Amino acid sequence: MPTVEDAKERMDAALEAIRREFATVRTGKATPALLDTVRVDAYGSKMPLNQVATVSTPESSLLVVQPFDKTLLNDIERAIMTADLGLNPANDGNIIRVPIPPLNEERRKEFVKVLHKMAEEGRISIRHARRTVREEIHALVKEHEIGEDEGHRREEALEKLTHEYSDKIDELLKHKEEEVLAI
């Protein structure tokens, strides 16, 4: 039987996905999450960078990538360059240093636009979860498995939950936007 809990689980998943996506957006500070989207051609397939190397931040403007297998150094370097992150890795034969350039005003505004797009995708996921559960509730009312009053109560709870999660996304967006625009 569809419950508001089903929608809550789906909305939690959407919120967590937004958190992960926001972590990949640069704020001018180095963070290993910046390289989460990088996929490396290794061992015959595309693998996430964190499965073939460790990423650390010895300073606030530098990432260091230490491959588990040194034969993958060039592949990792190439993957970082082609990941469209605006980063220029430097390979010294043992590790890869990735300096994080300071963000200019224009780049910051581009990142804010990207953040808004990600947030909208999150809101769409939340509305999709709401619609799915709402349709299930309507079907139960139509088949007389639950009464109309119970159906309305569930729908009201679902609406309240939807607004709650939309507000959470707006809050995450606001904080990340402040972080990106801070100089």
The predicted pLDDT at position 2 comes to: 60
**Whether residues 64 and 81 fall in one domain:** yes
**Whether residues 110 and 86 fall in one domain:** no
Host domain of residue 10: 4-22+104-181
pTM: 0.66
The predicted pLDDT at position 113 comes to: 87
**What is the C-alpha separation between 28 and 137, in angstroms, rounded?**
46
The predicted pLDDT at position 82 comes to: 85
Q: Give me the average pLDDT of each 10-residue run along the chain (183 residues).
A: 81 90 75 84 88 88 89 89 81 88 80 89 94 92 91 93 95 90 74
**Whether residues 108 and 151 fall in one domain:** yes
- Total domain count for the chain? 2
**Whether residues 95 and 129 fall in one domain:** no
Count of beta carbons in the 10 Å neighbourhood of residue 143: 8
**Whether residues 58 and 87 fall in one domain:** yes
The predicted pLDDT at position 160 comes to: 95
**Whether residues 36 and 88 fall in one domain:** yes
The predicted pLDDT at position 172 comes to: 93
**Whether residues 108 and 171 fall in one domain:** yes
CB burial readout 44-82, b (16+ within 10 A) else e: eeebebeebbebebeeeeebbbebeeeebbebbbebbee
